[in-house]
Structure 1
Amino acid sequence: MLRFTDVGLRYPGAPESAPDVLRGLRFTLEPGSFTWLLGPSGAGKSSLLRLMGLSLRPTTGQIDVLGLRVGTARRTALAATRRRIATVYQDFRLLPYMTVADNVALPLRLAGRPEASLQPDVAEILAWVGLDHRAEMRPATLSGGEQQRAAIARAVVGRPDLLLADEPTGNLDGVQARRLLMLLIELHRLGTTVVVATHSEDLPARHPAPSLHLHDGRVTRGDPA
C-alpha cells in the first residue's frame, strides 16, 4: 500500500545549513491499516502526508503508493493514483458559495460522473456522516464539527483506497473530535487505509493503533500498548 525507502525531503531554496525537512524515512503501511502520525507542530507531519498523497515528490529515496513506483511513474499514472487518494484538512476547505450537497458532489462532478448517478451516492454519504438534514445549507451556517463531517463526506464520496487526515480535529471540541474519530474508525472498518496526523494524546489513547512518530525529520514506528 505505502512503502518509503530511505526517503528525504528538502524544499527548493532552503539554506544549505538548514537540515532536510524529512530524512532517512523507511517504513511500510499495509493495505487496510489504520495508522496514527504523531509528532509536535513543525515535525514534518504535513510534509509527510503530502508525500503520501503525491502532491510532493521526495528529494531522495523511493516511494511506492498503491502499487505505483512514484519516481519512475508517468504523469497519467500519477494522476490516476491521486484519484484513489483523499485528504481531509484541519481547515475544512469547503467552498462557501456551494451548498453542503454540492461541496460533497464536487469530486464526482470533476471526475465526469453523470448527475443522475452521483445524487444517490451524495445522499448516502451525507446520511452516513449525519448531515442529510443539512444538505441544502451553506457551510457558514454549520458548526465546526458539522463542517468537518462535510469535509470527510466530500473526501470519501469517491470511495478512496487511501484517506489522509491532517490534524482533522484541531478546530473541534472534545465531543466533536471523538465523533469525528468514530467516523474515521468506521471508514477503516469498511476497508479504507487511513492515516491520521495529530498532536493530540487523547485520540490515540481512545483508539490504540500502530503509529509513526516524527521527530527532527526522522520517523520511528510504534505499536499500540
Structure 2
Amino acid sequence: MLAAMTLEPQLAELTTTAFYLVVLGFVFVESGLLFGFFLPGDSVLFAAGILAATPGSGVSLPVLVLGVFAAAVLGDAVGYACGHRLGRPYLLRRSGRLGARHVERAERFYARYGWFAVVVARWIPWVRTFTPVIAGIGRMPYHRFLSANVLGALCWAVGLVLLGYFSYATPWLRTLSLVVAGVFITATIGYVVVEWRRARRRPLAGGDALVTARDDQAA
C-alpha cells in the first residue's frame, strides 16, 4: 500500500477497459502463475479502490469487487491444479533461483498451518503465489482448499479494494492504512528473519515438509 500512491496516477491514465484488464490480470497472475510472485498486488488493489471512488474515473466499484474476487479465486485454483497434477519439480523449475528460497518458506508455512496457511498467505508477499501450488502438491482435499481460497480472496482482494475506496474520502483512514501497511511490512520482515534463523539451526527440507503436510491432511 505504500506504493499505491505511485501506482494510482499510472492506473488513472488507462481506459476503463484497460484498467479492469490490468488490475484483474495482476491479481490472477500473482495468485496462480509462478512468475508473478514479484508483482505488487497489495498496492494495485488499494490504488484501484481509490480510483473507483474518484469522481469521473468511470470505474464501477461492484464490477471491480466482483472482478478481483473472481480473479483471486481462479488464480489460486489454477495454482492448486498445477501443483496437484505436475508436482514439486514443476514448482521448482518454474520458480527459478530467485523464487527457490520463497518456495521453501511457503512449504514450511503450509506444513505448519495447513488450511489456515492458504488464507493467511494472501497477505504475505512472495509466499501467496506458491502456497496454493504447494497445497495441490500436498494433496489437500479440494473442498478444504476451496473454502480457504474463497475466504482468503474475500479478505485480501475485496478487503483491500474496499479499504482504498473508503479511504479516498476519509483522510484518517488513508493514514491508518499506511500505518497498518508499515506495521505489516515490519512484521513480515521480522517473520522472515525468525524463519531464516530457525532454518539455519534446524534445516527443514521441502520434501519433508510436504510429507508432513500430507500426513496432516490425511489425518
TM-score, scaled relative to structure 1: 0.28
| Structure (1/2) with the larger strand percentage | 1
| Structure (1/2) with the larger helix percentage | 2
TM-score, scaled relative to structure 2: 0.28
